[in-house]
Structure 1
């Protein structure tokens, strides 16, 4: 039994790592697309493709189209949590970060996303009532140092990318950082839902919800919808975003989060800055300054110490759970 639990834990860790790698790829691809179409158009296309892809898997590759894996069903509270989870990791996260990504680089976005593990740890303390350890404060310090060093390269980015100003790059980094808040809440909300559901069908519903939410805003803000006038490359890349970050992300994440704890899931988000930085440097030919190296080292160090010393770290704060009087 113990061996089986360890095996499931390892599989869950790999699944979460893969899911977060897809987020990093999403950052890099959107950095390329955001200059060619509006943010709402890109979001609608990615959720449309994500819905269609998962509908195909659900209807044609599964014998039974089912949402629940057990006899237990969602109550009103679970449906509310599920809706908030879908929107926080979907429209809210993507709308905010895509509004700032055109002001900075995919590498910078990846490094800033290293704040997610710390945010998850903080939210876990306040919402899930998990202990806050000394190691979390060290990780906070490393993240802050990494972001500060990253912003020191603003002048270099300005000369390389012809941005308006160093201040413009700084604002872009701040906007991207704000996007990490709903992304971190996605993990917390997922852990609050105890009813087991089918990962593929769950991903389908989440993509469909976000597609419906984006649609009225798209028609309201776009005077003339010109989807079919978009370049073919936008459709192709949007399909791959829908496949990797829409379909596969939610499938692997929903499978993995059921097998591991929120703190391990937080550590695995370190795959986001790594995959994003590699994509930006290799495919987008973004500059790789010494400041970027320091920022990435801070990220990798925070991940390592979180994994290595997380269990043995001293507990600093613990939330007491009030016992109900019988």
Structure 2
């Protein structure tokens, strides 16, 4: 099984069920919005568009972890797994919307993002560019807030035992709390509020991306399957390591990748003052001697391998069942070898 490809038809829960759950969610919210009039329904339609596409990595990790670990005694039904998996996709979309505001971006996945689409629509209606941009950014902030609330609602409404629901809610809460800390650190570096160090940049990367993208979906899937606390904890550690490698690969692609494949500018990080392992040397955070051959890309590649290998060592632990180990190994490979 691959975290980036459809699951086997025999799986107790499938990504198609997650897609169906997301569709129902947006159908319900658009119907509610239509009763309020104004441009609110347009916002929800734009939010639906923002959630389309992408690899659906996070819901796939929830579903595949559950699939690998569940047994005949598992009480959780596929519909509840789809609810939790869909919640992680809503959370991811919310973070992207907020991130676009913070970074001043108007493109995402090769097309206008919510900010760009709503701003362009406003300009077509005669609104000046600055006000149109402000409208788009304000809408993106509201959209992100609504989708974070929506993620909580999906888990609250899922057909889960109360004790398990509380544990899943705690995972979601931790995902939001840690990601916000990482996002603030990212902005502190970019705005020269904090002087970056290599350790600080890596900690920011772990907080901002690794936990909610890998560790928390893996933990949620394991909890749904009734896994032991030790295995749930190990999956959190695995997710942290592979998530850092994933983001470092994203940083490399974001600087040296093919814009036609990426669907975004490879100059955006430097233009926005983003501090990554690749740009930290410019800020004096990394001595040139720490980079192999004095080139930050070589150091980034070395750190990717280091974190990938740490994740793979965790995947070989005896408490990891063979079915889950294959999922984790595939996850580590895809996270570090991807081109987009």
When the two structures are superposed, what TM-score results if normalisation uses the length of structure 1?
A: 0.30
When the two structures are superposed, what TM-score results if normalisation uses the length of structure 2?
A: 0.29
